[in-house]
Homo-oligomer: A and B are copies of this chain.
Amino acid sequence: MKEFNDLASFKPEQIVELLRLAKQLEESPEPRALEGKVLALLFLSPSLRTLASFQAAMTRLGGGSFVISPNMSIHGLETRPGIVMDGVAAEHIREAVPVIASYGDAIGIRAFAERRNLEDDLDDKEYMALRELCDIPLINMESAINHPCQSLADWKTMDDLEIPANGGKFVLTWAFHPRALPLAVPAATVHMAAMRGMDVTVLRPDGFELPDSIMHKARKAAAASGGSVEETSDRASALNGAHVVYAKSWSATRHYGDRPADEDLRRGLENWCVDESWFDTGADDCRFMHCLPVRRGVVVTDRVLDGPRSIVIQEARNRMYAQMAVLHKMLGPTP
């Protein structure tokens, strides 16, 4: 495996195989599988789960990792192409990335959306530019429009808990948040659930539609898997019979990058906070999912988050096992 940038680059049976390997590594540790191997971790955006779970994953497989973030360089990293660097930044990303990659057997890169231009972010333009600078196996640790490690972990979590795939109803719901957030997790999640064969409903207030390209990609996956994808602002119909309510806030795209306009649009939507009533018409054992970090009392109530429906800690823990499978596949001994 040379890249893990997008679940859509894999066939469903390859994902199933990855998940089987993740489960195997969870149950039967292989503490020497990657001995002497190095994972380079480049964080252009902040992190907690990703930072911890990748380091832990490499240790569990007998290898190691190192972490670089821009503030470790002298005066930060320049990213603009063709610029005369007579300002503050003393190093350009065009050197920094190949150098960092040169020390690793694989590299993980995190670069959140810049949220200046919607088309650029939907095309994952910045991440794709960074990808061009790497000549070793690459892992997407969350880009403008994707978060495949989260999606693989979420898929594993649903498998672990025997949440139905075909026939399972997956509701991805927008939630209130004081700030406009990136599209990466909703885009990855709707596609993942569709690829898993679930009946996916995107529930969101008017004005927070997901962009066409995201919906189209998810529908394509659903067509292949026997799932379905629809979008609605009707909470009652969406939640009826749900096996999973996956909450996530995201920014409106009609005023993309325009913070005041986005804030105007979300005024009055504070009731998009998932509470127990959201589960009244769901399936038995309907689960609550979220990628974390989550704002308590804003996105979800304490009662739901601390109750038995919530599987957010399992999702986070499965980040480690999912990534161990990816790393083992990329760097491990050839079978």
Contacts and interface: CB of A to CB of B under 8 A. Distances in A.
Contacts of A60: 36, 38
A102 B316 contact: yes
Contacts of A74: 46, 48, 293
A208 B94 CA distance: 29
Given A72-B46, A103-B52, A297 B85 contact: yes
A47 B71 CA distance: 10
A59 interface: yes
Interface string A269-305: 0000000000000000000000011111110001001
A61 B35 CA distance: 9
A2 interface: no
Most chain B beta-carbon contacts within 10 A, residue among A31, A84, A293, A306: A293
Contacts of A32: 35-36
Contact of A48 (B73, B83, B302): B73
A237 to B, nearest CB: 29
Contacts of A296: 78, 83-85, 92, 94
Interface string A50-63: 01110110111111
Interface string A218-242: 0000000000000000000000000
B95 A66 contact: no
Contacts of A55: 64, 66
A36 B57 CA distance: 9
Contacts of A47: 72
Interface string A86-100: 100011101110111
Interface residues of A, number: 65
Nearest to A78: B296
A78 B293 CA distance: 11
Most chain B beta-carbon contacts within 10 A, residue among A37, A64, A103, A306: A103
A305 B48 CA distance: 35
A49 B85 contact: no
A317 interface: yes
Given A47-B72, A95-B313, 19 more contacts: A31-B37, A32-B36, A35-B62, A37-B59, A48-B68, A48-B99, A51-B68, A51-B72, A52-B103, A53-B103, A56-B66, A59-B65, A83-B296, A85-B295, A86-B298, A90-B295, A94-B306, A95-B305, A103-B317
Interface of A: 29-32, 35-38, 40, 46-49, 51-53, 55-56, 58-66, 68, 72-74, 78, 82-86, 90-92, 94-96, 98-100, 102-104, 178, 292-298, 302, 305-306, 312-313, 316-317, 320
23 contacts: A31-B36, A36-B60, A38-B56, A40-B52, A48-B68, A48-B73, A48-B91, A49-B99, A51-B72, A52-B99, A52-B100, A56-B64, A59-B63, A82-B297, A82-B302, A83-B296, A85-B298, A90-B293, A92-B293, A92-B296, A94-B306, A95-B305, A99-B316
